[in-house]
Chain A
Amino acid sequence: MSGETITRSQLSEAVYQEVGLSRNESADLLESVLTKISNTLAGGESVKISSFGSFSVRSKGQRIGRNPKTGEEVPILPRKVLVFRPSQVLKSKISGLPVEQPSPPTFGSSEFE
């Protein structure tokens, strides 16, 4: 699916349109939201946005990885990763999108008719 890419500027424009703060302040508030969520997660706390989804932090243990090019074994250090779990509401909004079907086998040469 060749969709567009939305960035901070469209999101803060939406805030500007909806609330009537200045464009600058709308952009600042968007940034405050993202910063607060980031800091909370960095502190080990989860963040749950109802009807959107939840972000939580998982600790991954050390494991042995392999350099795919050289085959060499390298230790992957224990680290934390962020997991996003979409809410049921968000999932059902998106599941309605058309799905690309694998092209069925074609018999004959209808392609060049």
Chain B
Amino acid sequence: MTGVDLAEEGGKTMTKSELIAYLAEENPHLYQRDVERIVTTIFDEIASALSRGDRVELRGFGAFSVKQRDARIGRNPRTGEAVQVDAKRVPYFKTGKQLRDKLNNN
């Protein structure tokens, strides 16, 4: 693949606890443990929607859905040996238009 590099290389990462700390600071009337429950609830809710096969659409941000990957013959890259890979379902995220534009400063 040409012309592709990871922007996260050497870049910083915000973790869930840093997100919680930021929100707690922005909302001084809330206990940090409540902010923690809020953030946890949001992501748990998205995860359980997906595990029911539902789709989560957050306009402007993006949409989480579940995609099917069909069974295929894979190959162990080390040994070159062919292996059967079963059909499976995987989580998928499609970035919303507004966020996509924001990443490109439009």
Interface residues of A (CB under 8 A from B): 1, 3-8, 10-11, 14-15, 18-19, 21, 26, 29-30, 32-34, 36-38, 40-42, 44-63, 78-82, 84, 86, 90-91, 93-97, 99-102
Contacts and interface: CB of A to CB of B under 8 A. Distances in A.
A32 B48 CA distance: 21
Interface of B: 2-8, 11-16, 19, 22-23, 26-27, 30, 34-35, 37-39, 41-43, 45-62, 66, 68, 70, 86-93, 95, 99-100, 102-105
Nearest to B36: A19
Nearest to A7: B57
Contacts of A53: 91, 93
B91 A56 contact: no
Nearest to B105: A42
B14 A80 contact: no
A49 B43 contact: yes
A94 B90 contact: yes
B47 A6 contact: no
A61 B93 CA distance: 22
Given A6-B57, A21-B38, A58-B5, 6 more contacts: A19-B34, A33-B23, A38-B99, A47-B14, A58-B6, A86-B90
